[in-house]
Structure formats: structure tokens, C-alpha cells
Amino acid sequence: MNTIGTSLRLTLFGSSHGHGIGCVLDGVPSGLEVSREDLQREVDRRRPAISIGTPRREEDSVEVLAGIVDDITTGAPIVLFIANRDTDSSKYELFRAIPRPGHADLTARAKYGDAVDLRGGGQFSGRMTAPIVAAGAVAKTILEAIGVRVAAYTQRLGRIVDNEERNFKDIRMAVWENPVRSADAALALDMVNEIMEAKEEGDSVGGVIRCLAVDLPLGVGEPFFDTLEGELAKMLFAIPGVKGVEFGSGFRGAGMRGSENNDQFIIEAGEVRTITNHAGGILGGISNGMPVDIRVAFKPTASISREQKSVDLERMEDTTLKIEGRHDPCIVPRAVAVVEAATAIVLADMCLRGDFIAREYR
């Protein structure tokens, strides 16, 4: 089912080479100011940078089909639609018989049968994340009203790793100044080189995106089963290419001692804070008032132009495959906007749930 969320519910639809892609976002409070331009601005942040991305040139122009009148939400479901224009499906028929390694061709056909729409990756395409980004713009408006802000950046790209602890403000300033969404201008150059090198070799690279959400109130989440980690992870794993999610010290924390990993409490400016933030802002599945700190691992793009081994499903025999087409050698920079949006949607959903609202107003 292409729906996620409890009080804010996102339904995704469309396919890469069909009429278009879009989403329904239900549960948005009425009376919020959201213009088409706000949505377009966010969606544009997901577009590929000229030099390093796919040559597919989608305008990705967002239409509002319902739920917003005169830039004000009405309380009815918001429907966003992005028409597909620059599609070329000629190359995809082959992959029905000879699945591409690392892609969903094989599993899609197993799941949906021969009628599955595999053109351009169909409903498995990274393109499906554009409506998520548009919906994220609405979610950010909801979060703004309670002061929550979200920002993500490329923390790792191939072999280039950003080991600095980063300040939320610095991230927000730096990240849209360079094409790889790095929080550091110098590292950005290295990352661009990493991508160009892979591209020249007909190869691709992956990376890690870190996302911070600050000023989330204490008390968001549950111990079972709608933990803040679990709700975020479920959403993030739906982003094509994601293979790992961790919070705070995550896998690194697994090697620590308790005395080292525990975040000790102090009073700071009249509020309870922790000295460190190894918990990534979450204790017992519930936000503790510290920044929510998420790391998301992306595998390298599956589409590479090198020859690979595959199988002919009709003849059930081994064969080889060389993928042509227009692909990103690295989707990580474009996915930064997606991770931000996905995080914002989940947090907004959790902040619209009845028990949270009741508590906030108590």
C-alpha cells in the first residue's frame, strides 16, 4: 500500500514514464499558508546539478490539484501532481527479460506480474521521491508553527567522509551553496571529484546523509511500536537506495562502554539537556529535547555503464548486460532534499497526533 502516516497521511502515486507522479497529503490542518512557489522551491532543490547529474532534464513543475485555495490550506486532502515530460521508454523493454543488477526489475515483476510498468523504473524510480519532497514542503510549514526545523547534508560521498561535528545553522547556510550538498566548501570539491572520477570509469558511488531536527519538543514518540526511530526508519527505508539508518552513536555506539555512550543530564538555561547526544535525541523511542540526529546510508547507484552479468528470464540462462541511458553516477546530493522532506513528514505526523497535542496544551 502506497500510504504512510497516522495523523498526516501521505499516499504516493504515478510512475516514472506514465502521465506523471504525485501524492495526496491528508490531515493537513486548515488555514496554513502554502503557495505553489513554496512547493516548487523545495522540488527544485532535488533537481540534479548540471555537471554531476543525469542528463534527463525534467522541469518537475508542481501542480496543486486540490486542498489549497488562494495559497491557504482548506483542511481537505492536498493533491500535488508533477507531469512527466522528458520520457524515453525505448530502452526499458529489455530489462523485463534481463533484469539489471541492483535494480528492482526482477522483484517488481515477481510482485506485480507481467503487467508491471517498468518504463523508467516505473513506481520504483527515484523520480517517485519528487512528490515526497513537495509534501515535505507542507510538512515543514506544519513544523514551523511549533518551531521545529530540519536540515540534512552529505556526510559521506564514496571515500570522502565529513567527520566534523556540525552546527545546525552552519549546515543550513552551506548545504545549498554547492552541488553535492556538503556542509563544507572544501570537502564539496573533493566530493565533486569523487563523482566525476566514478562517472568517467562508467561507475557510481554511494554515500551517507546526516539529518538533524532541532527544537522538537520533549515527548514525541512511543516505546512500542511507534517509536520515533521506527517511524523515521520506515519512511527513510522507502527512499530508493537506502540500506542503513542509525540514530546518534548508532553502530559506533555498539562498540562503546555504557559510561561512554550514556548522555549525562545537566541543567542549561533552565532546561534539562544532555552533555553529549549519543542517543540522537531519542530515549525509549521518545524525543528528549536534544537534536534528533539521523544517519542514512545510500548504496551506490545501481545503473552503471559497465558490462555486468545477468540472466535471461525467458531462456533461464546466463547472459551479460550493458545499461545505457541517462543516469546519476551518484544520487546522494539529490537525496539530501528527500531525506529532509521524509524526516519532516514523519515529525509533522507525530506532532499532529492527539496525545501529543493534548499534552502540549495541557
* Binding test (CB under 8 A) with its own copies, winner from 254, 269, 314, 324: 254
Q: Return the residue of 40, 54, 178, 204 that touches its own copies, per CB under 8 A.
A: 204
Judged by CB under 8 A, the chain residues 5 through 34 that form the site for its own copies are 7, 9-15, 18-22, 24, 26-27, 29-31
Phi, psi of 309 (to 5 degrees): -75, 135
How far apart are CB 134 and its own copies at their closest, in Å?
15
Among 49, 97, 196, 218, binds its own copies (CB under 8 A): 218
Nearer to its own copies, 16 or 178 (CB): 16
Size of interface with its own copies, in residues (CB under 8 A): 150
Smallest distance, its own copies to C-beta of residue 83, A:
9
Asked if residue 250 binds its own copies (CB under 8 A), the reply is yes
Nearest by Cα to 139 from 13, 4, 281, 279: 4
CB 73 within 8 Å of CB 32: yes
Please say whether the beta carbons of 32 and 142 come within 8 A. yes
Could you tell me the three cell numbers for 305?
Answer: 555503464
- Please answer whether residues 332 and 209 qualify as being in contact, where contact means their C-beta atoms are separated by less than 8 angstroms: yes
The piece of 49-57, 136-144, 166-174, 303-311 that touches its own copies (CB under 8 A) is 303-311
Q: Which is nearer to its own copies, 182 or 310 (CB)?
A: 310
- 334 vs 129: CA distance, rounded Å: 10
Residue 23 Cβ, how far from its own copies at the closest point, in Å?
9
Q: Among residues 35, 227, 325, 326, which is the contact residue for its own copies, using CB under 8 A?
A: 227
Residues 286, 222: Cα–Cα separation, whole Å: 6
Burial bucket for residue 313 (CB in 10 Å: 0-12, 13-18, 19+): middle
* Segment lying near its own copies (by CB under 8 A), choices 134-142, 166-174, 184-192, 202-210: 202-210
Pick the binder of its own copies from 50, 186, 269, 316 (CB under 8 A): 316
Q: What is the Rg, in whole angstroms, of the alpha carbon atoms belonging to the chain?
A: 21
User: Which of 172/227 has CB closer to its own copies?
Assistant: 227
Which positions from 163 through 182 interact with its own copies, judged by CB under 8 A? none
- Rule CB under 8 A: which of 121-150 touch its own copies? 122-124, 128
How many other CB atoms are found less than 10 A from the CB of residue 41? Answer: 12
Residue 65 and residue 81 in contact, taking contact as beta carbons nearer than 8 Å: yes
In the complex, least distance from residue 319 CB atom to its own copies, rounded to whole angstroms: 9
Burial of residue 237, with CB atoms counted within 10 A of its CB: 0-12 exposed, 13-18 middle, 19 or more buried: middle
Which of these ranges, 48-56, 66-74, 134-142, 181-189, lies near its own copies under the rule CB under 8 A? 66-74
Smallest distance from its own copies to CB 337, Å:
17
Q: Which of residues 50, 264, 314, 324 is near its own copies by CB under 8 A?
A: 264
Question: Angle at which helices 36-44 and 129-144 pack, to 10 degrees?
Answer: 120
242 to each of 20, 54, 153, 245, 246, how far by Cα in Å? 24, 19, 15, 8, 12
Please list every residue from 71 through 110 that binds its own copies, using CB under 8 A. 72-77, 79, 81, 99, 101-104, 106-108, 110
Q: Is 198 in the site for its own copies (CB under 8 A)?
A: yes
Judged by CB under 8 A, the stretch of 34-42, 46-54, 175-183, 213-221 that binds its own copies is 213-221
Residue 149: count other Cβ atoms within 10 Å of its Cβ.
Answer: 17
